[in-house]
């Protein structure tokens, strides 16, 4: 999928959208949208009446003709909004579809790697295929044998290859992606037509779009309001007759169409499609619109510590020597011991030594040094130099080694390192320092040189920059954050406090996670989480918003209702924001649409009844030029406002994280009060244009 | 407008506000089944009633069963009342020898009283026997008010409860509303009214010879007891045709003041019951706040219009306020205030003739009813009508905080919206639909006493009053005809039941839902912002529907009048 940042109204999108908006006039597709369907019915009826008048020579044909023209424009503008939203998705779907060119597959037929060539679409669930370097993976599946690097740019847009291997949490492969090196055996898990890419295409095109619960309820409200205005308008002819006059049908139609909530009716589905589209642009696939709505409603976010709240690895942040040893000396020894240590912790020690004490990297070969790697048994690593030996490792392991207990792996040089072992005073000091560090959520690493304890390197889980502010933001939005970690509760509490999460779940097992979600839900809360492993699947399925990582297992991807193609757990926060933005846009335009009615009444009612009671001219507060221009201006405004709001519907209203009160005040002011005032200005402006052009 | 007039209005508001908390607290105890200071006396009576009628007070009802009970109760009430009216000539307590009530009038009157409308196509003292008044009408005055309260309490339970299948027992609610709320207030209230000079007697009408020597029959009867409940239960059906303008129904300025207070007191206190039962009194105050803003705006307009008088008369040099159709013992301020109160609540008692109000002064009572009488409203009915608007307001604007709409922790979803819209739709259908019919059919056109916009307003007012279950008459309209009796009765039935049933459905659906805990992201529904939003939605959705009809009625009359155009009597 190309990551084009196309503007909202690029020419390539507009032409097909215009065509689509005419095609969508088909009543069979219009009926999905009750408000606009009603508009279409009156447009058709008035067109027929107009044709009759044209044949028989009625009066005021120019005026009626213009009103009818604008009725059709209203419909086309509404369709245009939807077609444009769909078109943006289609552009993405087309690039996806290119991956679905004729594919052949190597289906394994027996033991060994004997295979037959079969067309990709003929594969069935359970078939096992061989995919070698350069081959496209024919369908979604699970790696059951081998390891390979795979280019998933087709779905993620990310060109760096990823590793896929059997077993573990990275076994899922997606049809349409390409194996770059090695060969893997894949068991097919999706039949042709129901693969991940197929679903993506359907989703972004809006083909499989179903109305969400909130959209259904909103449609009921809009249909109800339409009925209210049917009553209001349908009773007018008898009232007028009582007053000794009559109102032309076309004027009644104009009043009716301007009063019913056409603005939100026209933009409702475009808002929904655009919301899904925003997620897709964010590289997140929502399996249903319902999931996006639920994201806006989330009350509790479960976030994994590693990778979401903290950077993946612990880093050295401080050297803490025992009394009598200088920081410089400790740093020097620690740096020497870590020079050849390729672990992230080791590298971070070298970096810290350089940054704080200016100790530069030294050439290991020149020092005649040998690196002693970490083993699970020794729980230490270090370096042996000529006549000197340095070790760093878990505090207990280093002290134990110093106290002279026999260690099988210890060589002659190692014996040198622990020569004066009974340095118990230093051991006590070390333990005190280590305890302080552990309490603060860090990991202490003891360093010893030639049998002397020098001090401790403070390894720390580094909380991601800016994450604390994000959590504060979430708290203002009323969302509770819970950190999930395998650490013990002391460490977890320290990191939780530093990151500013509201709560934490320490030493968490998948069962604990599931239980926590159930407990929150029992309190009426909506829970969002992300996960990748098979053991996350039950929790992902239970959560109201479950975001599966694209790198995750098939089970995890099936269980969640969203997939993050970038496999970035931090995105959960953005997903919530997108969900909220979708709901806010819907609410803002509904409010705006309904608030518009006041001005429309003041435009049309005096114009309509002027013949009956001339003094009603007083109600013409906008001083519109003539009754006909007032009515025409109202219907033109009603149509143009749809076009004017398409960018807002597609981009969404500006969303600033904050409390509900502040949000409501701001939005009520803009879309409520604005909705009352804007049409007064707009209708007046159109009236000036209409009378200047002598249209009415 | 005078300083004195505004003092009366301010004093009125202060007294009603002062009563909200104590009465709200008491009613909350009543409807949550707690002990009250009246329990030692009323408890045995209550339990006796349950034993006699075979009701288990602990047995709660699903909303469908509750609705079934409400309907059954009304059907039986209707049958009894209709029978009494038709048979009053042969029944006792008929000193004035009233004949049987005609079938269409009996149908209209029975419907009118079971729906808490109390539309009067009849003239009390010229049509009904004492038995009809006491056993028929007063009886329904209590019960129709009690059912309104019961339904409101059931809806409150819907919001207050979570994950449960029942919304209370109708039989218990209606019993407790009558026994613990209406009766204990009515007894001292009746005595107060008797002290003020209202008759309470079974003696026949008195004959008097006036100073000029003419013979005059003075109608009497058990008036005080009926007036008490007619006001407290927002019924409004007067013992006499002139209703609260009649000196025997409303003799003094003090009785007038107390009657006005009694119209609002239960409806206002129910907002407090709502707040208490959902666990946050501020929610109740917010609702009362929205009601209060609409009420004060209405009072200001009506009082201003009446105090300024008619522009046509002003042009003849007859300056000063409009006293036509008003009682001198009440004056302009108290008459304008009464008119707004009686139409804001679904009372319908009148102490002045609304037909004689200025065009704009009469517009507000009309608009109050068109909004669905949600400004304090009928006992119970006002609160549940307002909560329907709350649901719509929350649904329209609730999304703007970025969450799907919720109110008091309950998600507002398709079912609630559907039912709320049904409740809102039936009012304009009845009010505008029947007015449209009556303004073209000869049978309808025979009704109004005036031509032009004023005649139109007379018809519109009648159907609005019926569908809103108000019962006040604009006057001028000859409504005791087959056409008006039957169409108005249909309006009353639809206006009552097609609101009540959806409300109970909403109650059932809400009670079954889980409660979403409030957070900083929750739509705040107890502050000024929400009050403003609610008022806006009520005016736009509830009010704008009637813009065309108001433009052709009172607004046209006002503007034409200001220009010197008048309309000849006829019709």
Specify the length of chain B in residues.
Answer: 571
**Residues in a beta bridge with A447:** A392, A455
**A421 — pLDDT class (breaks 50, 70, 90):** very low
Among the listed residues B206, B170, B204, the one whose alpha carbon sits nearest the alpha carbon of residue B31: B170
Among the listed residues B468, B434, B213, B209, the one whose alpha carbon sits nearest the alpha carbon of residue B347: B468
**What is the spatial distance between Cα A420 and Cα A454, in angstroms, rounded to a whole number?**
13
Helix (H) or strand (E) holding A64: helix A61-97
Q: Where in chain A is the domain with CATH 3.40.50.1000?
A: 284-309+464-565
- The reply to whether A655 touches chain B by the CB within 8 Å rule is yes
C-alpha distances (whole Å) from A263 to each of A183, A259, B70, B334 are 56, 10, 41, 45
Q: Give the ranges where B468-541 is alpha helix by DSSP (H).
A: 482-512, 528-537
Does residue B546 contact residue B555 with C-beta atoms inside 8 Å?
no
Among the listed residues B491, B485, B494, the one whose alpha carbon sits nearest the alpha carbon of residue B107: B485
* Angle formed by the axes of helices B253-277 and B281-308, nearest 10°: 150
Does residue B160 contact residue B387 with C-beta atoms inside 8 Å?
no
Percentage of chain B lying above the pLDDT 90 cut: 71
Residue A366 main-chain phi, psi, to 5 deg: -65, -30
**What is the spatial distance between Cα B375 and Cα A226, in angstroms, rounded to a whole number?**
25
Six token digits for residue A337: 């011991």
Six token digits for residue A1: 């999928």
- The reply to whether A587 touches chain B by the CB within 8 Å rule is yes
- The reply to whether A245 touches chain B by the CB within 8 Å rule is no
**What is the spatial distance between Cα B320 and Cα B313, in angstroms, rounded to a whole number?**
9
Please tell me which of the candidates A259, A524, A591 has its beta carbon nearest to residue B400.
A591
pLDDT for B434 equals 96
pLDDT digits (tens, 9 = 90+) for B352-388: 998 889 999 999 999 999 999 999 999 999 999 999 9
Cβ neighbours of B560 in A, within 8 Å: 613, 615
- The reply to whether A215 touches chain B by the CB within 8 Å rule is no
Residue A131 main-chain phi, psi, to 5 deg: -125, 120
pLDDT for B143 equals 93
Cβ neighbours of A609 in B, within 8 Å: 548, 551-552, 556
**B571 — pLDDT class (breaks 50, 70, 90):** very low
Q: Does the residue B537 lie in any domain?
A: yes
β pairing state of B406-407 and A310-321? unpaired
What is the predicted ipTM? 0.93
Select from B388, B399, B412, B568 the residue whose CB has the most chain A CBs within 10 Å, as the one to mutate to test that interface: B399
β pairing state of A147-151 and A162-165? antiparallel
- pLDDT above 70: residue A98: no
pLDDT digits (tens, 9 = 90+) for B190-226: 999 999 999 998 888 888 888 888 888 888 888 999 9
Q: Identify the domain boundary among B278, B313, B329.
A: B278
CATH assignment, A124-191 = 2.70.150.10
Is residue B78 helix, strand or coil?
helix
Q: Which domain holds residue B518?
A: 383-562
Q: What is the mean pLDDT of residues A489-507?
A: 87
pLDDT for A423 equals 52
β pairing state of A388-393 and A443-449? antiparallel
Beta carbons of B401 and A668 less than 8 Å apart: no
Q: What is the mean pLDDT of residues B309-316?
A: 76
pLDDT: which is higher, A406 or A278? A278
pLDDT digits (tens, 9 = 90+) for A521-564: 988 889 999 877 777 888 888 999 999 887 777 788 888 888 88
Q: Does the residue B291 lie in any domain?
A: no
DSSP string, A534-590: GGGHHHHHHSSEEEEETTS-HHHHHHSSEEETT--TTHHHHHHHHHHHHHHHHHHHH
**Residues in a beta bridge with A143:** A186
Q: What is the mean pLDDT of residues B151-164?
A: 95
Among the listed residues A230, A266, A264, A217, the one whose alpha carbon sits nearest the alpha carbon of residue A596: A264
- pLDDT above 60: residue A1: no
Q: Identify the domain boundary among B225, B253, B278.
A: B278
Q: Could you tell me which residues of A are annotated as the binding site for ATP?
A: 341, 345, 374-381, 392
pLDDT digits (tens, 9 = 90+) for A625-657: 999 999 999 999 999 999 999 999 999 998 877
Q: What is the dihedral of CA A152, A154, A160, A166, to 10 degrees?
A: 0
pLDDT for A411 equals 46
State whether B255 and B401 are in the same domain: no
- pLDDT above 80: residue A202: no
- pLDDT above 60: residue A66: yes
Percentage of chain A lying above the pLDDT 90 cut: 31
- pLDDT above 60: residue A407: no
Q: Which residues of B280-298 are buried (b: 16+ CB within 10 A; e: fewer)?
A: bbebbbbbbbbbbbbbeeb
**A409 — pLDDT class (breaks 50, 70, 90):** very low
Q: One of A304, A384, A461, A597 is an active-site residue; which one?
A: A304
Work out how many domains chain B is built from and give that number. 2
Q: Does the residue B1 lie in any domain?
A: no
Cβ neighbours of A229 in B, within 8 Å: 545
pLDDT for B541 equals 86
Average pLDDT value over all residues in chain B:
92
Does residue A667 contact residue A588 with C-beta atoms inside 8 Å?
yes
Beta carbons of A224 and B417 less than 8 Å apart: yes
Question: By CA distance, what is B523's nearest residue in A?
Answer: A660
Percentage of chain A lying above the pLDDT 70 cut: 92
The distance of A305 to chain B (nearest Cα, Å) reads 24
Q: Does the residue B286 lie in any domain?
A: no
pLDDT for B381 equals 93
**What is the spatial distance between Cα B291 and Cα B273, in angstroms, rounded to a whole number?**
15
- Is A396 marked active-site? no
Please tell me which of the candidates B413, B424, B453 has its beta carbon nearest to residue A228.
B424
pLDDT: which is higher, A441 or B138? B138
Question: By CA distance, what is B555's nearest residue in A?
Answer: A616
- Measured in whole angstroms, the distance separating CA B51 from the mean position of its chain's CA atoms is 33
Phi/psi-derived region of residue B479, left when phi > 0, alpha when psi is between -120 and 50, beta in every other case: alpha
Geometric angle at alpha carbon A43, from A41 and A46, rounded to 5°: 110
Q: Does the residue B14 lie in any domain?
A: no
**What is the spatial distance between Cα B231 and Cα B472, in angstroms, rounded to a whole number?**
12
pLDDT digits (tens, 9 = 90+) for B57-90: 999 999 999 999 999 999 999 999 999 999 999 9
The distance of B520 to chain A (nearest Cα, Å) reads 4
pLDDT digits (tens, 9 = 90+) for B261-300: 999 999 999 999 999 999 999 999 999 999 999 999 999 9
pLDDT for A158 equals 67
Does residue A230 contact residue A555 with C-beta atoms inside 8 Å?
no
Q: Where in chain A is the domain with CATH 2.70.150.10?
A: 124-191
Q: Give the ranges where A612-654 is alpha helix by DSSP (H).
A: 627-651
- pLDDT above 90: residue A51: yes
Specify the length of chain A in residues.
Answer: 696
- pLDDT above 70: residue A415: no
Q: Where in chain A is the domain with CATH 3.40.1110.10?
A: 311-404+419-462
Beta carbons of B401 and A584 less than 8 Å apart: yes
Cβ neighbours of B563 in A, within 8 Å: 615
Cα Rg of chain B, angstroms: 23
- pLDDT above 60: residue A419: no
Q: Identify the domain boundary among B278, B301, B324.
A: B278
pLDDT for A9 equals 59
State whether B183 and B67 are in the same domain: yes
Beta carbons of A594 and B540 less than 8 Å apart: yes
Q: Could you tell me which residues of A are annotated as the binding site for Mg(2+)?
A: 532, 536
- pLDDT above 50: residue A453: yes
pLDDT for B103 equals 92
Beta carbons within 8 Å of A550's beta carbon, 6+ residues apart: A152, A155, A156, A174, A557, A563, A564, A565, A566, A567
The distance of A246 to chain B (nearest Cα, Å) reads 12
Beta carbons within 8 Å of B7's beta carbon, 6+ residues apart: none
Q: Judged by CB atoms within 8 Å, which residues 513-532 of A form the interface with B?
A: 523-526
Cβ neighbours of A664 in B, within 8 Å: 397, 400-401, 523-524, 529
**B152 — pLDDT class (breaks 50, 70, 90):** very high
- pLDDT above 90: residue B164: yes
Phi/psi-derived region of residue B569, left when phi > 0, alpha when psi is between -120 and 50, beta in every other case: beta
Please tell me which of the candidates B433, B537, B551 has its beta carbon nearest to residue A235.
B433
Beta carbons of A479 and B519 less than 8 Å apart: yes
Architecture field, domain A284-309+464-565: 3-Layer(aba) Sandwich (3.40)
pLDDT for B548 equals 93
Cβ neighbours of A234 in B, within 8 Å: 436
Residue B358 main-chain phi, psi, to 5 deg: -65, 165
Please tell me which of the candidates B395, B514, B529 has its beta carbon nearest to residue A668.
B529
Instruction: Tell me whether residue A47 is exposed, middle or buried, using C-beta atoms within 10 angstroms of its C-beta: 0 to 12, 13 to 18, 19 or more.
Output: middle
pLDDT digits (tens, 9 = 90+) for B108-124: 999 999 998 888 888 77
CATH assignment, A311-404+419-462 = 3.40.1110.10
Q: Could you tell me which residues of A are annotated as the binding site?
A: 341, 345, 374-381, 392, 532, 536
Does residue B313 contact residue B321 with C-beta atoms inside 8 Å?
no
**What is the spatial distance between Cα A44 and Cα A71, in angstroms, rounded to a whole number?**
9
- The reply to whether A301 touches chain B by the CB within 8 Å rule is no
Six token digits for residue A569: 């757990």
pLDDT digits (tens, 9 = 90+) for B444-475: 999 888 888 999 999 999 999 999 999 888 87
Please tell me which of the candidates A228, A296, A598 has its beta carbon nearest to residue B402.
A296
Please tell me which of the candidates B417, B514, B524 has its beta carbon nearest to residue A661.
B524
* 3-state SS track over B120-183: CCCCHHHHCCHHHHHHHHHHHHHHHHHHHHHHHHHHHHHHHCCCCCCCCCHHHHHHHHHHHHHH
Average pLDDT value over all residues in chain A:
84
Beta carbons of B428 and A228 less than 8 Å apart: yes
Cα Rg of chain A, angstroms: 35
**A598 — pLDDT class (breaks 50, 70, 90):** very high
């Amino acid at each position: 999928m190309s990551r084009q940042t196309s503007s909202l109204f690029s020419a390539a999108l507009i032409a097909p959208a215009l065509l689509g908006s005419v095609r969508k006039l088909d009543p069979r597709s219009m009926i999905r949208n009750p408000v606009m369907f009603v508009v279409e019915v009156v447009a058709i009826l008035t067109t027929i009446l107009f044709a009759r008048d044209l044949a028989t020579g009625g009066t005021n044909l120019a005026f009626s003709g213009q009103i009818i023209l604008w009725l059709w424009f209203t419909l086309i503008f509404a369709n245009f909004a939807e077609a444009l939203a769909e078109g943006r998705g289609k552009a993405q779907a087309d690039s996806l579809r290119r991956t679905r060119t004729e594919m052949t597959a190597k289906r394994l037929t027996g033991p060994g790697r004997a295979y037959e060539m079969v067309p990709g679409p003929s594969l069935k669930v359970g078939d096992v295929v061989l995919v070698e370097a350069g081959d496209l993976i024919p369908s979604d599946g699970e790696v059951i044998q081998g390891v390979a690097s795979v280019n998933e740019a087709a779905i993620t847009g990310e060109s760096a290859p990823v590793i896929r291997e059997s077993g573990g949490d990275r076994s899922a492969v997606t049809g349409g992606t390409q194996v770059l090196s090695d060969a893997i055996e894949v068991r097919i898990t999706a039949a042709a037509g129901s693969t991940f890419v197929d679903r993506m295409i359907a989703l972004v095109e809006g083909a499989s779009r179903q109305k969400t619960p909130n959209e259904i309820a909103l449609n009921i409200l809009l249909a109800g309001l339409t009925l209210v205005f049917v009553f209001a308008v349908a009773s007018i002819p008898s009232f007028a007759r009582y007053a000794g006059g009559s109102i032309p049908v076309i004027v009644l139609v104009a009043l009716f169409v301007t009063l019913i909530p056409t603005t939100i009716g026209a933009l409702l589905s475009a808002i929904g499609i655009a919301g899904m589209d925003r997620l897709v642009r964010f590289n997140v696939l929502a399996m249903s619109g319902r999931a996006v709505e639920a994201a806006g409603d989330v009350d509790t976010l479960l976030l994994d510590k590693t990778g979401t709240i903290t950077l993946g690895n612990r880093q050295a942040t401080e050297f803490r020597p025992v009394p009598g040893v200088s920081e410089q000396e400790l740093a020097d020894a620690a740096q020497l011991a870590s020079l050849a240590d390729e672990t992230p912790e080791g590298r971070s020690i070298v970096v810290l030594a350089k940054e704080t004490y200016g100790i530069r990297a030294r050439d290991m070969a020149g020092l005649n040094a040998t690196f002693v790697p970490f083993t699970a048994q020794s729980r230490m690593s270090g370096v042996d130099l000529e006549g000197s030996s340095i070790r760093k490792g878990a505090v207990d392991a280093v002290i134990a080694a110093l106290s002279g207990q026999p260690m099988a792996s210890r060589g002659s040089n190692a014996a040198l390192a622990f020569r004066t072992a009974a340095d118990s005073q230093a051991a006590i000091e070390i333990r005190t320092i280590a305890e302080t560090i552990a309490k603060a959520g860090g990991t202490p690493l003891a360093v010893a040189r030639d049998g002397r304890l020098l001090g401790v390197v403070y390894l720390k889980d580094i909380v991601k920059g800016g994450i604390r502010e994000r959590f504060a933001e979430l708290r203002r939005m009323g969302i509770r954050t819970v950190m999930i970690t395998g650490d013990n509760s002391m460490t977890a509490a320290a990191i939780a406090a530093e990151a500013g999460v509201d709560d934490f779940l320490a030493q968490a097992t998948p069962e604990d996670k599931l239980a926590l979600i159930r407990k929150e839900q029992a309190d009426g809360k909506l829970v969002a989480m992300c996960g990748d492993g098979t053991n996350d699947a039950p929790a992902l399925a239970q959560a109201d918003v479950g975001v599966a990582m694209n790198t995750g297992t098939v089970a995890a991807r099936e269980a969640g209702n969203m997939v993050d193609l970038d496999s970035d757990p931090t995105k959960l926060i953005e997903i919530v924001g997108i969900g909220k933005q979708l709901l806010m846009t819907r609410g803002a335009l509904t409010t705006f649409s309904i608030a518009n009615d006041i001005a429309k009444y003041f435009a049309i009612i005096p114009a309509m009844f002027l013949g009956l009671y001339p003094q009603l001219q007083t109600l013409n507060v906008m001083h519109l030029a003539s009754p006909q221009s007032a009515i025409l201006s109202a219907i033109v405004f009603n149509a143009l406002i749809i076009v004017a709001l398409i960018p807002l519907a597609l981009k969404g209203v500006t969303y600033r994280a904050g409390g509900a009160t502040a949000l409501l005040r701001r939005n009520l002011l803009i879309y409520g009060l604005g909705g009352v005032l804007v049409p007064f200005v707009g209708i007046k402006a159109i009236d000036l244009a209409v009378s200047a052009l002598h249209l009415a | 407008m005078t300083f004195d007039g505004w003092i009366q209005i301010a004093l009125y508001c202060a007294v009603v506000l002062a009563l909200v908390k104590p009465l709200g607290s008491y009613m909350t105890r009543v409807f949550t089944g707690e002990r009250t200071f009246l329990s030692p006396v009323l408890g045995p009576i209550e339990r006796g009633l349950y034993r006699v009628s075979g009701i288990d007070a602990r047995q709660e009802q699903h909303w469908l069963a509750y609705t079934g009970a409400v309907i059954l109760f009304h059907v039986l009430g209707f049958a009894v009342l209709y029978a009494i009216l038709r048979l009053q000539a042969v029944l006792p307590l008929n000193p004035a020898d009233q004949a049987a009530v005609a079938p269409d009038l009996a149908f209209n009157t029975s419907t009118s009283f079971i729906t808490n409308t109390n539309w009067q196509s009849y003239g009390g003292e010229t049509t009904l026997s004492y038995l009809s008044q006491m056993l028929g009408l007063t009886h329904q005055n209590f019960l129709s008010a009690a059912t309104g309260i019961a339904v409101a309490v059931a809806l409150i339970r819907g919001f207050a409860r979570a994950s449960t299948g029942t919304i209370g027992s109708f039989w218990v609610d209606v019993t407790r509303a009558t026994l613990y709320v209406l009766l204990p207030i009515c007894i001292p209230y009746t005595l107060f009214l008797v002290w003020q000079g209202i008759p309470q007697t079974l003696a026949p009408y008195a004959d008097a010879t006036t100073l000029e020597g003419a013979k005059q029959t003075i109608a009497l009867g058990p008036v005080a007891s009926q007036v008490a409940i007619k006001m407290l239960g927002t019924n409004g059906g007067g013992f006499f045709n002139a209703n609260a303008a009649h000196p025997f129904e409303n003799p003094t300025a003090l009785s007038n003041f107390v009657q006005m207070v009694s119209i609002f007191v239960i409806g206002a206190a129910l907002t407090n019951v709502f707040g208490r039962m959902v666990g946050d009194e501020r929610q109740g105050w917010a609702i009362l706040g929205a009601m209060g803003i609409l009420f004060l705006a209405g009072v200001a307009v009506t009082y201003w219009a009446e105090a300024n008088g008619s522009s046509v008369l002003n042009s003849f040099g007859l300056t000063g306020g409009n006293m036509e159709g008003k009682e001198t013992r009440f004056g302009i301020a108290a008459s304008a205030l009464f008119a707004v109160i009686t139409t804001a609540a679904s009372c319908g008692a009148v102490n002045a003739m609304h037909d004689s109000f200025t065009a704009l002064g009469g517009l507000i009572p009309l608009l109050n009813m068109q909004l669905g009488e949600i400004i304090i409203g009928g006992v119970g009915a006002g609160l549940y009508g307002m909560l329907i608007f709350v649901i719509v307001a929350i649904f329209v604007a609730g999304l703007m905080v970025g969450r799907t709409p919720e109110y008091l922790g309950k998600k507002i979803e398709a079912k609630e919206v559907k039912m709320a819209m049904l409740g809102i739709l039936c009012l304009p259908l009845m009010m505008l639909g029947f007015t449209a019919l009556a303004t073209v059919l000869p049978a309808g056109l025979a009704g109004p006493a005036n031509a032009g916009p004023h005649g139109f307003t007379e018809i519109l007012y009648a159907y609005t009053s019926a569908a809103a279950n108000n019962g006040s008459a604009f006057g001028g309209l000859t409504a005791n005809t087959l056409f008006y009796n039957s169409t108005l009765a249909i309006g009353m039935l639809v206006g009552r039941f097609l609101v009540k049933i959806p409300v109970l459905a909403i109650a059932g659906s809400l009670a079954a839902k889980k409660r979403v805990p409030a957070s900083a992201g929750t739509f705040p529904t107890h502050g000024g912002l929400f009050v403003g939003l609610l008022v806006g939605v009520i005016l736009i959705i509830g009010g704008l529907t009637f813009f065309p009809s108001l433009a052709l009625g009172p607004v046209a009359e006002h503007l034409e009048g200001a220009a010197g155009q008048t309309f000849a009597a006829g019709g």
